[in-house]
Structure 1
Amino acid sequence: MLKIGLTGGIASGKSLVSTRLRELGAVLIDADALAREVVEPGTPGLARVMAEFGQDIVDAGGRLDRARLGTIVFAEPDRREALNAIVHPLVRERAAAMLATAKPGDVVVQDIPLLVETGQGSAFHLVLVVDAPDAERIRRMTEIRGMTDNDAVSRMAAQASRQERLVAADIVLDNSGSVEDMMGLVDTLWKERLAPFASNLAAGRAAPRTGAPALSPPNPDWPVQAGRLLARIRRASAEVLDADHIGSTAVPGLPAKDVIDLQVTVSSMEAADRIAPALGEAGFPLREASARDTPKPLDPDPAAWQKRFHSSADPGRPVNVHVRVVGSPGWRYALLFRDWLRANPDAARMYAEMKRGLAGTYAGDHRTVGYADAKEPWFTQVAWPLMDAWAASSGWRPPSYSVAQS
């Protein structure tokens, strides 16, 4: 199943988006609704809240006085943390039970107001943030919900900042326009990304890629995107020793194809095979069980350069995942090449010029195989001697891990 974490600041329009996604076919798990359920009269949750905040936190009918509780927790951060410590585990338990009933091809949307604050982003294939300007959110709270300006600002201050949410977001939906505008954005997202992503996951296949090897200008958001992807990979299996952003998108200022390359470090090829299903469930299905690696001319032993190659099932974010054994020549080369380019601007410029030339040569190619093959001599004949000398002179060493071989 495709797991979507939906969040947004108060009055951003998150409920509008969740409702539309449910209409389109998503399974919706609403954390706010669950948070109300777990403190209904007679529940252990309400008993714990009363023990923490006093018997007068319920009304004459025995129900939680939410207005009174809200006044307390939004004015006193330590009291808010105490409430969260009671409610959040109960909500997560209930959400997990609902998630367990979902089918493989489902799109499951978990509407979680405090997703960013509670660090849950890596639990989802995508984090979807509904965004609106602060002034518009205050207007909605005061005019529609009847809050005072001070109450509205206080509620906003109790949540993650807008910038923190945007950093956590794989997808941002701008809800500063009309309801119709937002519905159109959600419908397009569902058709072009969410539904195909879910279908790819259920089939265990990578999203198809077509087109010439076009280079994009350097994008400062590439490392941020890579960080979110790496967190999901590390969470996928305890046998992942490490995961790194490699390749051109990991080098600041370097033009690159808009494809993020990641390297997953494992103790052995057997471990690489064991984690393949977990990587597939995390959104990165296996593409080649015995993929070629480059540059093989540096070592005549083909087995030394063996890897497992996975790609993203997400049609909206092309990703290559290279699973390599710690200490292997391919593993070392990927890390050294990245660090050499980062430390040597002249080398990065030389590499960029070579790539631009080949991208022009293969501009009419509908695949990138020819472009990739044409780069191999440069890696072995030009880059390798220079980066090897730099490693020796700078004292560069790859990371080391204490692992039990399997």
Structure 2
Amino acid sequence: MLRIGLTGGIGAGKSAVAARLAELGAVVIDADRLAREVVEPGTPGLAAIVEAFGADVLAADGSLDRPKLGKIVFADDAARARLNGITHPLIGALTAERAAAAPPDGIVVHDIPLIVEGGSGASFHLVVVVMATEEIRLRRLTELRGMPIEDARARIAAQATDEQRVAAADVLLDNSGALPQLRAAVDALWEDRLVPYASGIANGVAAEAAGAPVPADLERAAARLRNWLHRPDLRVEQAGPLELRAFLADADEVRSVGKALAGSGWILDGTRGSTARSADPGQPTRLVLAVAP
């Protein structure tokens, strides 16, 4: 299963990309939607919130009064942490449930506004960032959503910068033009990279180098390896534009790490258990598992 993190600043057009990916066959999991689902009337989530904050956070119809709860938690770090302690596990469980329903060669898109701000990019095989200039985003927010210009500027300023998004992105989708252009870019990404990447993971087939692939980004690749293997101190170095080296304590650890790569996007070389190749056709990188000198 291929897991994609989809993000972008407010007004950039992330929802349009998510909608097109869903049309193409992706399982789209909208984090904001799940956050609303877990606190709907009658849910354990809403009951826990009422227990923690009192019945005053309910609207007249028994639903959660979000503005009222917002005033409480955004003015109090402890209250916000208490709310997150209730909702985050519920959202995580629902996310896992939706993802598990996808086929083995499926493409699961996690639509999350704050991937960059939350530093969660390493949890995904790829991070796709939708971009548009600030001028265009301001126009969309004011003209299409009716947002006051100062509110729009404040919302944009509160999020990650364009430079931070570019640094976190494996794929950048420019949505400064017309919608058909964006859809064409999403279609090309789907056919040329996402579908073969998902198939490679499901079938254990590494990508073949073709054309001029983008050199591996050491920081992002290393973060993903550490996250997948639950080894935050794993030493990873760049040995070439499309080659990484990960250093382990001994040969037994090399073998155990190699087996643990299943599903990570790295396909272990059956004839040489100390090497693996990526199933990502956009970055057909080689990984060498080496014993530290």
TM-score (norm 2): 0.88
Deviation at 1:163, TM superposition (A): 2.2
Secondary structure in structure 2 of the residue aligned to 1:273: helix
Larger deviation: 10-19 or 149-158? Answer: 149-158
Deviations 1:20-66 (A, max 9, x none): 10111111111111011011113232244445665443321122234
1:342 match: none
Secondary structure in structure 2 of the residue aligned to 1:7: strand
Q: Distance in 1 between matches of 2:286 and 2:265?
A: 11
Deviation at 1:269, TM superposition (A): 2.3
Q: Distance in 1 between matches of 2:222 and 2:3?
A: 17
Paired amino acid for 1:310: A
How many residue pairs end up in the alignment? 292
CA distance 1:77–1:129, change in 2 (3 Å): farther
Contact map agreement 2:236 2:245 (CA 8 A) in 1: yes
1:243 aligns with 2:209: no
CA distance 1:73–1:21, change in 2 (3 Å): farther
CA RMSD of superposed structures (Å)? 2.7
Secondary structure in structure 2 of the residue aligned to 1:285: strand
Contact map agreement 1:3 1:124 (CA 8 A) in 2: yes
Paired amino acid for 1:150: E
Secondary structure in structure 1 of the residue aligned to 2:235: strand
Q: Distance in 2 between matches of 1:240 and 1:77?
A: 31
2:284 match: 318
Deviation at 1:115, TM superposition (A): 1.7
1:272 aligns with 2:254: yes
Larger deviation: 59-68 or 182-191? Answer: 59-68
CA distance 1:54–1:163, change in 2 (3 Å): farther
Paired amino acid for 1:34: L
Larger radius of gyration between Structure 1 and Structure 2: 1
2:100 match: 100
Paired amino acid for 1:316: G
Secondary structure in structure 1 of the residue aligned to 2:166: helix
Paired amino acid for 2:257: I
Deviation at 1:176, TM superposition (A): 0.9
Paired amino acid for 1:61: D
CA distance 1:158–1:195, change in 2 (3 Å): same
TM-score (norm 1): 0.65
Deviation at 1:134, TM superposition (A): 1.8
Moved over 6 A (4+): none
1:346 match: none
Deviation at 1:191, TM superposition (A): 0.5
Q: Distance in 1 between matches of 2:20 and 2:163?
A: 25
Contact map agreement 2:127 2:169 (CA 8 A) in 1: yes
CA distance 1:52–1:165, change in 2 (3 Å): farther
1:22 match: 22
1:90 aligns with 2:90: yes
Q: Distance in 2 between matches of 1:174 and 1:128?
A: 11
Q: Which runs of 5+ in 1 are unaligned?
A: 249-258, 291-306, 328-406
Contact map agreement 2:196 2:281 (CA 8 A) in 1: yes
Equivalent positions of 1:39-50 (< 5 A) are 39-50=39-50
Secondary structure in structure 1 of the residue aligned to 2:155: helix
Paired amino acid for 1:243: R
Deviation at 1:155, TM superposition (A): 2.5
Deviation at 1:274, TM superposition (A): 2.2
1:183 match: 183
Equivalent positions of 1:92-171 (< 5 A) are 92-171=92-171
Q: Percent identity?
A: 45
CA distance 1:88–1:49, change in 2 (3 Å): same
CA distance 1:184–1:31, change in 2 (3 Å): same
1:287 aligns with 2:283: no
Deviation at 1:321, TM superposition (A): 0.6
Q: Distance in 2 between matches of 1:77 and 1:6?
A: 30
